[in-house]
Amino acid sequence: MVKIADLICGDGSRQAHECGLVVGPDTPVSEALRRMEELGCDSIAVRRAGDDNDAVISRDEVLHSLLVELEKAQVQLSMLQRQIEGSISEQIDNMQEGVKSLVEWEKDKLAVAIDNMSEGLIILGRTGEIERANPAAKTLLGLTPKDSLEALATVIDGLGFRELIGNEGDPDEKKQGEFKVRSASGKILQMRWNEMIDDWDNCLGTVVMIRDVTDEDLAEKAKTEFIASISHELRTPLTSIQNSVSNILADVTGRIPNKTREYLHGMKSDCHRFAGLINNLLDMAILEAGSMPINRRVMNIVSVATGVIRQSADLARTRNIDLTCEISGHVSPVYADPQRIGQVLSHLITNAIKFTEPRGRVVVRSCDSGDDVVTMVEDTGVGIEPELQKQIFSKFFQISRRAGAGSMGSGLGLAISNGIIAVHGGAIWVESRKGEGSRFYFSLPKTDPFVMLYRHLSDLASRTGKEANDFALMILGFDVAGEQDSSVKTQVGSIINGLLAESDDFLVNAKDLAIQTEDFEVVFVVEKACAKQIEMVRRKIQKIVGNRLRKNCGNGPILPMLGIGVYPTDAIDARDMEDVARRKVSRLLD
């Protein structure tokens, strides 16, 4: 703050004055000017202590002196600004040098860490070019650490790696995956890759990890072979024990005391459980070896599910569980192994019963979904925690969804089911919430029923020698009034599903077949078709359809029609069998 005394040059003007405005030397200039303006004075007197004469300053002198002081202050301010700017610039330069040194040090540290990894690491750019590779990656792929990135690119191109990661997955999703290759030196390498995505969802490239798993694979193979071998060795004496116990219980060796019978029943139960464990171990071994025999044929999932439910009925009854199969609408046939798919359903249904409290419910449902047939096993059990759901299909993984004896198994059932469904080209998954039960699903690719029917007929017709025999094609159709009526479709669908579910009772040969070809039609193929066998099958169909019509439809407008053709009596070309059967159609019920 500039004072009025600071504007007085020397002793100032000390002549007598008539100014009516007198101020002290410490008065601010701004205050002095304000008071001069208020009083209309052209000058101002400044009275200093110990001085009898006042110094007089005119308005112009005040303003001039003030401008001079402002110019001095501006010069000083400019000098100070330059000093500050120079200091700040120097500090910024020092900070930048420090940050640069720190970044370089961290980069060098990261580079050293990458170069000293025992696992191989390759970084690919956005367009797939190799940007970096550590020595371990080059060594694992049969190169030397000094070889160029171009040589490494030639090696991975020979493996087809870049093409593989460029074609996998949904382009809108982050890509990742793994596969195994055998190097030129005979090593088995596991290659895992993952896209690098920044915070703005931009792809920066791909990082590839390479690991030598030769020893692990050999150990796993040895373990699998050992399990298979020991399981085979255990199966023979176990079968002998089971047969002996069954004979004793059947009083083949004479009557036995009740207490002994009780012990023997316990032994039989344990033998059955032990046999199941051995079978699971063998199945897991052959799945991992890639040698599981799959005997595919056209099959309907409804009949398989019904058969498994019958087998599981006693277990459900013992645990007071309501076990049902609910099928609505047309379910397409699939080309699969009925025994293996039945094994999957058995695992899922047994688990559902095991982990559902008494008075609970287990339901099996199946339906068409796009190009697949999806089957679901739903229970009202205690459910599975979300963090465990991704692990339950792993080998030997077990969870305690319920306390109590008998709830733990071998940990192989779901792993085997996963393997069987994968071999069939399907998928298996679970949906569950803790405390709300679980839903296990598996999907199998749909099969065009007519394509598979013609293939099946051609296979039967091409057999020669002892395997050659007659076979019959039976086409059951339903003439209805109002085919678009949803209630009529539901009624016919119920009859067909029931017929397919019971078809195993009268189709007893390995090559017998029952498939639904259209909404109102089902086709049966009967192997070894002598007149007696054909008549037996016809009467069974007649009985089942008649009972279901009376039970579900009353006197509704549904007329079942059956046509039968026999090969080679009615046609020498299997492709003509369908036309023959359709020409010979007649009413099934009188």
Tens of pLDDT along 384-403?
Answer: 888 788 788 887 777 654 43
Interval 353-380: pLDDT, tens: 988 999 999 999 999 888 899 999 999 9
* 559 three-state secondary structure: strand
Query: Quick one: angle between helices 338-354 and 301-318, nearest 10?
Result: 30
Q: Which of 85-89, 103-107, 134-138, 274-278 has the highest mean pLDDT?
A: 134-138
Instruction: State yes or no: pLDDT of 339 exceeds 70.
Output: yes
Contacts of 345 (CB under 8 A, 6+ apart): 304, 305, 308, 364, 375, 377
Query: In degrees rounded to 5, what are phi and psi of residue 437?
Result: 85, 180
Architecture per CATH, domain 1-110, reads as Alpha-Beta Complex (3.90)
CA torsion, ordered 260, 261, 262, 266, to nearest 10 deg: 100
CB neighbour class for 464 (10 Å; exposed up to 12, middle 13-18, buried from 19): exposed
Instruction: Give tens-digit pLDDT for 411-452.
Output: 788 888 998 998 888 999 999 988 889 999 999 988 878 887
| Nearest C-alpha neighbor of 532 from the set 464, 585, 584, 472 | 472
User: What contacts 571, CB < 8 A, 6 or more positions away?
Assistant: 565, 577, 579, 580
pLDDT at 51: 66
Q: Which of 69-78, 83-92, 394-403 has the lowest mean pLDDT?
A: 394-403
Assigned CATH topology for domain 223-288:
Helix Hairpins (1.10.287)
Q: CB-based burial of residue 505 (10 Å sphere; 0-12 exposed, 13-18 middle, 19+ buried)?
A: exposed
Gap between the terminal Cα atoms of the chain: 123
Distance CA 162, CA 184 (A): 18
SS3 at position 14: coil
Query: Is residue 283 a contact partner of residue 337, using CB atoms and an 8 Å limit?
Result: no
Least-confidence region, from 2-11, 29-38, 295-304? 2-11
Max Cα distance, the chain (Å): 155
Higher per-residue pLDDT: 483 or 260: 260
The structure tokens 């096993």 sit at 377
How high is the pLDDT of residue 483?
A: 55
Q: Is residue 104 predicted with pLDDT exceeding 90?
A: no
pLDDT tens digits, residue range 557-579? 788 899 999 998 888 888 888 89
Which of 293, 304, 302 is closest to 341 using CA atoms? 304
pLDDT for res 402: 47
Task: Yes or no: say if 191 and 120 are a contact pair by the CB < 8 Å rule.
Answer: no
% pLDDT > 90, the chain: 13
| Band of pLDDT at residue 39, cut at 50, 70 and 90 | confident
Q: Please tell me the CATH superfamily of domain 456-587, with its number.
A: Reverse transcriptase/Diguanylate cyclase domain (3.30.70.270)
* Residue 70 one-letter amino acid: L
Question: How high is the pLDDT of residue 324?
Answer: 92
* pLDDT value of position 554: 56
Mean pLDDT for 130-138 is 89
pLDDT given at position 64 = 77
pTM here is: 0.54
Structure tokens at 23: 């101020």
Q: Is the pLDDT of residue 76 over 70?
A: yes
CB 23 within 8 A of CB 4: yes
Mean of per-residue pLDDT scores for the chain: 81
Read off the amino acid at residue 497: N
516 C-beta neighbours (distance < 10 Å), count:
22
Spell out the domain ranges in the chain.
1-110, 120-212, 223-288, 297-445, 456-587
pLDDT of residue 349: 94
**Per CATH, domain 120-212 is 3.30.450.20:** yes
pLDDT exceeds 70 at position 12: no
- Considering 31-40, 215-224, 253-262, 352-361, the range whose residues carry the highest mean pLDDT is 352-361
Residue 401: its pLDDT value, please? Answer: 46
Q: What is the pLDDT of residue 66?
A: 74
**Residue, of 295 and 374, whose pLDDT is higher:** 374
Highest mean pLDDT among 35-49, 77-91, 107-121, 566-580: 566-580
CATH number listed for the domain at residues 297-445: 3.30.565.10
As a whole-number percent, the residues of the chain with pLDDT over 70 amount to 88
Higher pLDDT, 152 or 177: 152
Residues in contact with 322: Cβ distance below 8 Å, sequence separation at least 6, in sequence order: 316, 359, 360, 361, 362
**Alpha-carbon span 266 to 407, nearest angstrom:** 18
pLDDT tens string 516-564: 888 788 899 998 878 888 899 999 999 998 888 887 655 557 888 999 9
Q: Please say whether the beta carbons of 141 and 171 come within 8 A.
A: no
Long-range contacts of 179-187 (CB under 8 A, 24+ apart): 180/213, 180/217, 183/140, 183/141, 183/142, 184/142, 185/142, 186/214, 187/140, 187/212, 187/214
